[in-house]
Amino acid sequence: MGGNCCKPDRRHKNTQDAHRQRQKLLAQLRHQQKVRAAKCIQAWWRSVLVQRTLLVAALSAWVIQCWWRTVLHRRLQQRRLKLLRLYVVEEQAVVKVQSWLRMCRCRQCYCQVCDTICVFQPPDDSTLPYPSHNLLQVQHRLISKQPRFHIEIVSV
């Protein structure tokens, strides 16, 4: 009877083997879970890195676009200023030409008036029997802004 207790029990050995296999399977499962968790963390970290890279690229593109819009705006402003200066120069030239033409027309009219007006002076020794206001009759008419005078001298 006493010999039975020293012999290893097959059931006990089987349970130990089963327990070891369970422990091994549990260790493998835990390892697989850790690997899956590590893969998830690595995937998340890679996505964070990709997002950072994309964010840097997007910000760089935005900065370049802002710079280019500023350059285009400056060019447009410079073009507008050039056109405005050209317009002012042309406008001043037109005003000068118009004033010069008006001055020439006024001068022409003045010269025409000066050429057509005749100054009447009676001789010093003659005495006129008639009043002077009946002596000189002036007729004039204006035609298209060019005055023409007609002076008649009525003799006695």
CA torsion sign for 86, 90, 93, 99 is: negative
Is residue 79's pLDDT more than 50?
yes
Quote the CA–CA distance of 24 and 132 in Å, as a whole number.
Answer: 150
Quote the CA–CA distance of 73 and 75 in Å, as a whole number.
Answer: 5
Residue 110 placed within a domain: yes
Query: Tokens standing for 47?
Result: 């996505």
Residue 143 placed within a domain: no
pLDDT at 64: 97
Q: What is the CB neighbour count within 10 angstroms for residue 116?
A: 13
Per DSSP, what are the bridge partners of residue 151? 138
Per DSSP, what are the bridge partners of residue 139? 150
Range of the domain at 56: 11-117
State the average pLDDT over residues 124-134.
52
Residue 74 placed within a domain: yes
State the average pLDDT over residues 108-135.
61
Contact 137, 154 (CB under 8 A): yes
The continuous run of DSSP H or E covering 131 comes out as none
pLDDT tens, position by position, 37-57: 999 999 999 999 999 999 999
Residue 91 placed within a domain: yes
b/e per residue 19-54 (b: at least 16 CB within 10 A)? eeeeeeeeeeeeeeeeeeeeeeeeeeeeeeeeeeee
- Number of structural domains in the chain: 1
- CA 150 to chain CA mean position, Å: 64
Q: Is 5 helix (H, G, I), strand (E, B) or coil?
A: helix
The overall pTM is greater than 0.85:
no
Residue 1 placed within a domain: no
Confidence band, pLDDT 50/70/90 cuts, at residue 109:
confident
Residue 64 placed within a domain: yes
Type of residue numbered 13: K
The residue that leads in pLDDT, 147 or 107, is 107
Residue 154 placed within a domain: no
The continuous run of DSSP H or E covering 71 comes out as helix 10-116
Quote the CA–CA distance of 72 and 48 in Å, as a whole number.
Answer: 36
pLDDT at 101: 94
